[in-house]
Amino acid sequence: MLFYEHRMMRQEPELHRLLREKTGMPVPEIMYFEAQHPLLQRDFVIMERMPGAPLGQLGRSDRVFRALGAKLREVHESIRADEGAYGYLGAHRPMEPQSTWQEGFEVMWNLLISDIENCGAYDAGEGARWRALFTEYRDVFEHYEEPASLLHMDVWAENILCDDDGRLTGLIDWDRALWGDPEIEFAVLDYCGISDPSFWEGYGRERPSGKDAEIRRIFYLLYEVQKYIVIRIARQGNPAGADRYREMAAQLAGLLTA
């Protein structure tokens, strides 16, 4: 598993409660949760079945994308962490909360690189170079000083539910959520093909631009892309697939000096 996946289900009950109380984002009611059930020997959750079907089955819809943009902005602005707490803050506690986003993302970055080293996809020298790359550009992450926003971090077609009329009926799988800079959410939306004009029309706010914002976007994409190195090689036994993501990461890193 990736460092933030261990026991990640444990954060869902509180996140769903917050989302249902503070926003209009359609998410399932958590009906029952138990950690390490003695019979099952694992965590499990029972949640409401939401109406609709995954967007991937029904096809692209501007109406859904606009509604998703509006609701995601509502989440980003309405649900904030306590002052001075950034990172993965849920009950699964894969890291210690950090006092700034810059420090939070640095911890996340280094833990991800360690995961890749631990599965044998990066040797110690490669890992050191990736850590040094972040250090070189660390200052551009001082930009975010607001209380951390709740970020879904896995918004793709299979997690977006909608009906035949193009209405958004649910956004599921909040177990990878973290608290931080919405720009990292935007990079995941880019990667997953969600970041299109209708989404931004619904979001109703332009994303940050300029040189520093583009550097951050590359690092946030690298954070998303490199997780698949671990998934392909350690979880799926597919080293060739891992190599493709290694190449993609190297190409992205090359943009920093282009």
How many angstroms separate the CA atoms of 115 and 199, rounded? 33
For the residues 60-89, what does the mean pLDDT come to? 96
Closest of 111, 145, 146 to residue 130, by C-alpha: 111
List pLDDT tens digits, range 123-132. Answer: 999 999 999 9
Contact 116, 122 (CB under 8 A): yes
How many angstroms separate the CA atoms of 186 and 188, rounded? 5
Sheet with 53-54: list strands edge to edge: 53-54, 160-162, 168-171
CB-based contacts of 248: which residues, under 8 Å, 6+ apart? 225
- The strand pairing partners of 180, in sequence order, are 149
Tokens of 151: 């970020």
Determine the pLDDT at residue 91. Answer: 95
pLDDT confidence tier of residue 70, bands split at 50, 70 and 90:
very high
Please state whether beta strands 149-151 and 168-171 pair in parallel, antiparallel, or not at all (unpaired). unpaired
Residue 258 pLDDT more than 80?
Answer: no
Longest Cα–Cα distance in the chain: 56
* pLDDT, the chain, mean: 96
Residue 40 pLDDT more than 90?
Answer: no
For the residues 201-228, what does the mean pLDDT come to? 97
Structural class in CATH, domain 8-255: alpha beta
User: What does the domain layout of the chain look like in residue ranges?
Assistant: 8-255
Contact 125, 113 (CB under 8 A): no
- The strand pairing partners of 44, in sequence order, are 34
pLDDT confidence tier of residue 36, bands split at 50, 70 and 90:
confident
Closest of 166, 160, 174 to residue 18, by C-alpha: 174
